[in-house]
Amino acid sequence: MKNKSKQSTTVFITGANGGMGLETTKILFEKGYGTIILACRTEEKAKGAKDKILLEAVNNNGADALKTYGGFDMNAPQSIEKAVSALPSDQKIDVVFLQSGGVIFGKDFEYIHWKGKKIEKTIFQNVIGGYIVLQNLKRRNLLSENFRVIYAGGEGARGIPGMMDKPTFNSPKVLRDYIEGNLKGQKYHDMNAMGTSKLMSALLVAKLAQEAQQGEEYIWFTPGLTYGTNGLATKPAFERWFLENVGFNIMKWLGMAQSPFQAAEKYVSAIDGLRGENGDILGSPEKKTLGATVDQKPMNSAFTDQNLIDEFYSIVQEVYPELEVIR
């Protein structure tokens, strides 16, 4: 993929209608990427994103480059399967950017039930849904020979002092019990659950990177705290207003949060192949919400705990066993 021209490169992006997803898609479009697949929850949302990009683009590289698809609901495996089956079979994908997802705001854990398994919803929506997308793309043989997969990470995976606890699990069993809702005295904290889900995507990327074939790359990358996205959309109205108009403004002026465009520029550099290599876990410096892109692995021993990596992968495979490639 690194040696391909942008014009002949195909990027697949989930949540392309969201804050950073939309900005990333816009930049890719303006840079002249040949095909950008907007894989959204509904086709209307994908089309809405396309219209917005075409309206705002300074360099219009041809509306045909933007392909719109719906059905990519990260909590609904059957919908994902159907959505992937609607993709054209002759369009090989070079970069898969799995970035849809967000926090489940509330007071109690929620779970997704699928084929007899019960999985914490934040983890399903931010991690397992993306894995199911990937499995189905592989099944249909839609990935190019040297593909690159980028999972959107989050600083919460290694904790942010005063904002999100560092997620830790003393054993694979504790990890499993947390995910399956069997941990005694388990209390829900939405932002911590989000951080934990991002740690899970890092564990998954670690495993996929270990098993990658020559030329394939799996990267986990967080651009840092970003204001102005829809991330707070499901928060109660006043809290949302306060955080968006006061909290984020203060963080912006303190240099603790960036705009969706600034975040998207970083994602684009990862899509371009300029940032990140197979197995990288990248994000802002220790304890910071924003800053230079550095290796996150030393910030939480869980990132490199092989027992946790293997246990999470076992859970993922129990939920969604590997599919056979259709030849």
Which element (helix H / strand E) includes 217? strand 217-221
Backbone φ and ψ of 30, nearest 5°? -70, -25
At 245, the amino acid letter reads N
Site for ligand NAP in 6-25 (CB under 6 A): 15, 17-21
Assess 77 for contact with ligand NAP (CB under 6 A).
no
At 222, the amino acid letter reads T
Measure CA 196 to chain center. Answer: 13
Q: Which residue is nearest to ligand NAP (CB)?
A: 18
Interface with ligand NAP (CB under 6 A), residue from 99, 135, 196, 293: 99
**Which lies closer to ligand NAP via its Cβ, residue 223 or residue 273?**
223
Cβ 94 vs Cβ 11: under 8 Å: yes
At 99, the amino acid letter reads Q
Interface with ligand NAP (CB under 6 A), residue from 30, 43, 73, 265: 73
Assess 273 for contact with ligand NAP (CB under 6 A).
no
Residue 128: CB atoms within 10 A of its CB come to 28
As a whole number of angstroms, the distance between CA 222 and CA 266 comes to: 9
Which element (helix H / strand E) includes 132? helix 129-139
Task: Give the tokens for residue 299.
Answer: 């910030």
Interface with ligand NAP (CB under 6 A), residue from 10, 25, 35, 75: 75
As a whole number of angstroms, the distance between CA 303 and CA 306 comes to: 8
| Segment interacting with ligand NAP, rule: CB under 6 A, options 81-89, 100-108, 185-193, 207-215 | 100-108
- Min dist CB 193 to ligand NAP, Å, is 12
| Segment interacting with ligand NAP, rule: CB under 6 A, options 136-144, 212-220, 228-236, 247-255 | 228-236
Interface with ligand NAP (CB under 6 A), residue from 61, 136, 192, 222: 222
Assess 195 for contact with ligand NAP (CB under 6 A).
no
Assess 41 for contact with ligand NAP (CB under 6 A).
yes
Assess 45 for contact with ligand NAP (CB under 6 A).
yes
